[in-house]
Amino acid sequence: MKYALAALLIAPPLITPGPAAAETFEVRMLNRGEAGPMVYEPDFLRIAPGDSVKFIAATTGHNAASIEGMAPEGAEPFKGQINQEIEIAPAVPGLYGVKCSPHYAMGMVMLIAVGDADPAGLVVPETVPARAKQRFGEILARSSK
Ligand SMILES: [Cu+2]
């Protein structure tokens, strides 16, 4: 429901030609959130190509980094410093896994779907820690329509 509304908000007005203005989505890096300890909030985002995601250091000790094997072909890897606020603009449509480097094994991950990418098509590589795999499973269960 929430994502359908977001899609409406970012759709270009029918009377105005040209591309929609790019949106910036904020993700908070937290020691504890609704889903438990060491989380991104939200842990799932659907964005349009050209939109940005800004990771906010709401509590200390976290970062945001791309996960090897969990990004579309041609996507640029990224890695923020601990406690650093970083902004990414994933341009290639597809699914992007994001991890907190120090809390990866504790399952601090999130998923970004760019464009029409279907979360159900997510491939979680073998190298992803068990707790992180479990979190991706929880994210998929919530994000499926
Ligand atoms: Cu963390």
Token pair of 87 as six digits: 């902004």
Neighbours of 58 (CB within 10 A): 16
Predicted pLDDT of residue 53: 98
Predicted pLDDT of residue 1: 46
Residue range(s) defining the domain that contains residue 75 = 2-143
Q: Give 98 Cα–ligand 1 centroid separation in angstroms.
A: 11
CATH number of the domain encompassing residue 28? 2.60.40.420
Question: Could you say which residues of the chain have pLDDT below 70?
Answer: 1-20, 144-145
Predicted pLDDT of residue 12: 55
For the chain, what is the domain count? 1
Predicted pLDDT of residue 35: 86
- Rounded CA-CA distance 83/87 in Å is 13
State the binding site for Cu cation: 62, 100, 103, 108
How far is residue 27 from each of residues 43, 74, 117, measured CA to CA in Å? 8, 24, 20
